[in-house]
Structure 1
Amino acid sequence: KKGNVVLSYAIDQKRANLLRELARKLYLMDVFISYESNKKIIKQGLSVIESGESRLYPYKDILTPIVGYVKKYEENEYTKIGGVKGIERFYEEKLKPIQDGLIKGYRDIGGNIVLNKEAIVKRRIDGFNIHLNISMLLQKNLENILDIYKKRLKAKEIIAAIMESRTGKIIAIASTNRFNPKKIRKKDYKSLNASIIEYSFEPGSVMKPITFALLLENSLITPYDIVRTYKGRFKLGKKIITDEHKKEWMSAENVIVYSSNIGIAQLAQKLSHIQFFQGLKKFGFSKKSGIDLPYEHSGSIPPLSKLKSMTYKATVGYGYGMKATFMQLLKAYNVFNNNGKDVTPKIANYISLESGKQFALPRFFSKRVISISTAATLNKILTKVVEKGTATAAKVEGVTLGGKTGTAHIATRGKYVKRYNSSFFGFANDEKNRYTIGVTVIEPKKVYFASQTAVPIFKEIVELLIDQEYLVPNID
């Protein structure tokens, strides 16, 4: 076959010299076959070229699959690398060399290039360095927490992230399914995708505060309205809706605090199909979050026409009949901890050249999603979820915590089976700092309620933030 075939990327100087001598002898023995190209006779042989780029990963599997990986390819007999996934792919144009280094000339008897006037020398100009918002110490400790819980819960995967609520800076983003980018093996293939942005799922009850916020924003309820919850069993059309907390009546805010499906199903009916659809869009559902990673999924919400249905309003109200990614949910919950404004999640902070000169990355300005008063009301209700509701196991003294649990059936071939995703999305604040934190446990086997899976992980993450002085508890 005509053309070039790379036999090896890594040979030392001694082997290179021996191969050059072998190539010379094979050429003299007329082993290599000549062919005609553009009326020229060409005879290719065995070439030993000092050429190529490689990537070092000193932290091995830390921050994978977010960091991504590269592949090698040949260009003009030069081995280059290109990003395939993750940060490597998203920032490939910044990372790749501005100018390749080149030294070309005759060699002396020792195989060294002679740098005379006939030699060609081009200075190598490296690409940009990408500086992340992530602390490797915090990242490693977060991964350790998730690894422990993956074994304990026998989960398929656990994902989590911590974001500065005011800025959108991602300071840690982790998965239990990791790999060494330098040595990707067949068993690693299932870990190459970043589930945080590439796995869409029905989120379950973590959607209830979103629905509640839309009701408040449209002045359709107050937190103190009374809702009948029918002692935990309610028929809507042909559908039976049930609750874990079997109460006859609840206040509207307690529908969130105690996670009543029946309560939110009824309250959601107050929204018009247009209010519901546009509200979900405003919170970022069915749209990419804008995080600096490639191949982000958009999730899905029902079309406008279907939200006229009472059943669809009910099910979407408590997080079924739609799909979202982890990052969409984290971004949506951040609104409750940022005075009603959204932010764009960002992993990279800035870029720099080898000289040390720094360059800012494009900034994304926040926009208002809900009013300050609606955000404050939801923030207060979500703190009650931790104080007395479904997430009391998250309590940590001296910091303000809030959030919402979500346990959702997984549908296979249109039917819900006995497999679950469990989530907790919320926030942790002290007097100066505000963080939005998300945890999703994918298919836990031992226990599956979010209060038993995602909530204890959230608590350990908060304790980690305190231990590493990201949060300072106010202990009187």
Structure 2
Amino acid sequence: MSREQTRGGVTPRRPPPMDPMGKVRYVVMLLLVLIAMGLLAGRIVDLHVIDRNFLQVQGNARILRTDPIPAHRGMITDRHGDPLAVSTPVVTVWANPQDLPEDDVQLVLLAQALGQDLGQLKSRIEKYSDHEFMYLRRRMTPEAAQEILDLRVPGVHAREEYKRYYPAGEVVAQLLGVTNVDDQGQEGLELAYQSWLAGQPGKRRVIKDRRGRLVRDLEVVQEAQPGGDLVLSIDQRLQYIAYRELKVAVDENDADGGTVVMMDARTGEVLAMANQPSYNPNNRAGLDPAGLRNQAMVDVFEPGSVIKPLAMSALLETGRFPPGTVVDTSPGWMRIDSYTIRDVSNNGQLTLAGILRKSSNIGMAKLTLQLDEPLVPQRYRELGFGQAPGTGFPGEAVGEVPSPQVWSSSQWAALSYGYGLSVSALQLASAYTAIANHGERMPTSLLRLNQPPQGQQVIRPDVADRVLAMMDEVVEPGTGARRAEVPGYTVAGKTGTVRKIGDAGYAQNAYRGLFVGITPVSDPRIITVVMIDHPRGDAYYGGAIAAPVFSRIAGSALRILDVPPDQPAGDEGH
């Protein structure tokens, strides 16, 4: 029996002593674990305490979005509150090209819903493949847009917008103007009052997923501020009448176009402003750019004989031509400088009223050439010619009254019968407010006024009243303006026929026919300017083509405005 053995058993062995290197490895591993746990704990503290705000911002940046809230564009109405321009809600469908499916089946359904060719749609997707946004179709009705969204094509989204609609269509198109696809004013009053009509878009905070889909609407950060409404001086009832009658006249006379301006004689407010040609602002496909022009405000022309009453007011104020003045206009023509001035016929001896009634160029020239000072052009400037009307309308015409330094005798004479200067139809109507208001010219307004404006006295009251009486004699049986008569009402007016300027001076067979009328004479309410541009029919004189338009428009307007007749029953004078 060995010594290690004991009675009843075996003595256990002692464990071998630990290797010194093993102790080192153990300590190292323990330290590494403790360090790792410390770092992890530190990082947890760092993330949850120290960098909490930074991480929250980063996280929110990936899911929180601020979407714009479109502002409702202000409405444009006529003076009675009837809508002329309104904004209706529409939906624009857009897509993230990077999220669109490659499956042709879904793309075919999407193209059909959009009303597009599949090849065209694929081409656009490829073009914008590096972008995260592309329009699929803009300004759709909510119902049509929902049909597209119901397809649930990945990457397809929608946003709310507004589209401008013009209930009156082409009737008042050039005055109102239009907005572009982003609902921003581009022409006319839409452009002039863009900042007032547009309003201020709002903002809302939302949560979206990584594909840009809305998860939750959180809050409105800033409410959208709707645009302001614009109330025009236009009376839509009168506007329809003016447009209808002008269109008929242009068609009947095979004319290039025309314009009508009706103004409130007492306030200077524009009650109607119609132009031909026109266009439909709700459907601009195949639009003729000529129809965009508001001819009444942006185009100028030589006024011809319709200017004679205004020139006569300057002549009368000199005191050199008493009521009994007679001018010999025989033999119907006269030479000034190297030019020949003619009347339509040999009128012989004419009174001052007769000069207007017969529209004698010779009579006006002889009176004007007796003056030593340029009183006639000075009067034109006092009446607003050669100056902007001040309505704020984009591109409103200034016109021109030539400088006195360049006048010859023939030019001085020509100014008195309407040649050598340029005016717009709106300027003509504004100038005649001075004749209708005892010499007080009213400022022009395209907006409804809440109270009468302060006018400017530019003609002596007695002279203005005398000229109005002369114009009253112009519109009577046997005169060239007889077709301007309005049953039941007295009319003061003046015709004009002007040669148009061509490439080589005045054209031989191109004219403008004009008429300016004030009615009723006893208490003037409306001033109406009618211009027919280049009629190609048998008639071209203002009394033949423009005066009848005035008669129909003014007659209807007076009845609509409930103006009592001032023509005695059975009186054949007017």
Q: TM-score range by the shorter chain?
A: 0.7 to 0.9
Larger Cα-atom Rg: 2
471, 482, 502: which one aligns with 1:382 = 471
Contact 2:515 2:547 in 1 (8 A): yes
The residue aligned with 2:519 is 428
Query: Shift of the alpha carbon at 1:375?
Result: 0.4
- 1:267-416 map, 5 Å: 267-307=367-407, 309-349=408-448, 365-388=454-477, 389-416=479-506
Q: Choose the corresponding residue for 2:556, options 454, 464, 473.
A: 464
Q: Which moved more, 1:385-394 or 1:457-466?
A: 385-394
Measure, in 2, the Cα distance between the counterparts of 1:5 and 1:217. 69
**Residues 175-214 of structure 1 aligned to structure 2 (within 5 Å):** 175-214=275-314
Q: Does 1:93 align with 2:195?
A: yes
Moved more, 2-11 or 416-425: 2-11
TM, length-normalised to structure 2 = 0.70
- 1:228 corresponds in structure 2 to 328
Structure 2 stretches of 5 or more lacking a match?
Answer: 1-129, 567-572
How many residues in Structure 1 have an aligned counterpart in Structure 2? 431
Corresponding residue for 1:67? Answer: 176
Distance change in 2, residues 1:330/1:469 (3 Å): closer
- The one-character-per-residue Cα deviations of 1:119-142 (angstroms, maximum 9, x if unpaired) are 445432211111122222221122
State the partner residue of 1:448.
540
Letter of the structure 2 residue corresponding to residue 444 of structure 1? P
Quote how far apart the aligned CAs of 1:223 are.
Answer: 3.5
8 Å contact kept, 1:422–1:454: yes
Deviations, residues 238-295 of structure 1 (Å, cap 9, x unaligned): 2111111312211122111110011111111123344233222111111112234221
Aligned-pair distance for 1:18? 7.0
Per-residue CA shift, 1:105-153, capped at 9, x if unaligned? 1369xx9855554x44543221111112222222112211111111111
1:13 and 1:114 mapped to 2: Cα distance? 20
Classify the secondary structure of the residue corresponding to 1:64: helix
Residues 334-369 of structure 1 deviation map (CA, whole Å, 9 limit, x = unaligned): 21101101112222216xxxxxxxxxx898531111
Equivalent runs, 1:249-260 vs 2, <5 Å? 249-260=349-360
Partners of 1:13 and 1:320 in 2: CA distance: 59
In 2 relative to 1, CA 466–366 (structure 1 residues): closer, same or farther, beyond 3 Å? closer
- Look up the SS of the partner of 1:241 in the other structure: strand
Relative contact order, CA 8 A, sep 6+: which one is greater?
1
TM-score w.r.t. length of structure 1: 0.84
Comparing 341-350 with 293-302, greater Cα deviation is found at 341-350
Give, in whole Å, the separation in 1 of the partners of 2:522 and 2:380: 31
Maintained 8 Å contact 2:353/2:473: no
Select which of 105, 110, 115 maps to 2:206.
105
What's the Cα RMSD here? 2.7
Q: Is this contact kept in 2: 1:339–1:376, CA < 8 A?
A: yes
CA-CA distance at 1:166 after TM superposition: 0.9
Deviation at 1:197, TM superposition (A): 0.9
**How far off is 1:391 after superposition?**
0.8
1:155 aligns with 2:255: yes
CA distance in 1, matches of 2:277, 2:239: 14
**Percent identity for Structure 1 against Structure 2:** 25
Give the corresponding residue for 1:8.
Answer: 137
What is the CA distance between 1:404 and its match in structure 2?
Answer: 0.6
Q: 1:313 to 1:431 in 2, by over 3 A?
A: closer
In the alignment, the residues of structure 2 paired with residue 466 and residue 363 of structure 1 have an alpha-carbon distance, to the nearest angstrom, of 20
* Counterpart secondary structure, 2:166: coil
> Could you tell me whether the CA contact under 8 Å between 2:263 and 2:528 is conserved in 1?
yes
> Structure 1: which 5+ residue stretches go unaligned?
25-47, 73-79, 351-360
Maintained 8 Å contact 1:224/1:253: no
Q: Distance in 1 between matches of 2:133 and 2:413?
A: 62
Preserved contact between residue 60 and residue 181 of structure 1 (Cα < 8 Å): yes
In 2, Cα distance between equivalents of 1:68 and 1:152: 27
Residue 529 of structure 2 is aligned to residue 438 of structure 1: yes
Corresponding residue number in structure 1 for 2:37: none
Cα pair 2:298 2:424 within 8 Å, conserved: yes
Shift of 1:7: 4.4
In 1: Cα distance, 2:201 partner to 2:386 partner: 42
Q: Taking structure 1 as reference, are residues 13 and 302 closer, same or farther at Cα in structure 2, changes over 3 Å only?
A: closer
2:265, 2:437 within 8 Å by CA — same for their partners in 1?
yes
Q: Provide the residue aligned with 2:348 in structure 1.
A: 248
For 1:8 and 1:166, locate their aligned partners in 2 and report how far apart those are by CA, in whole Å. 50
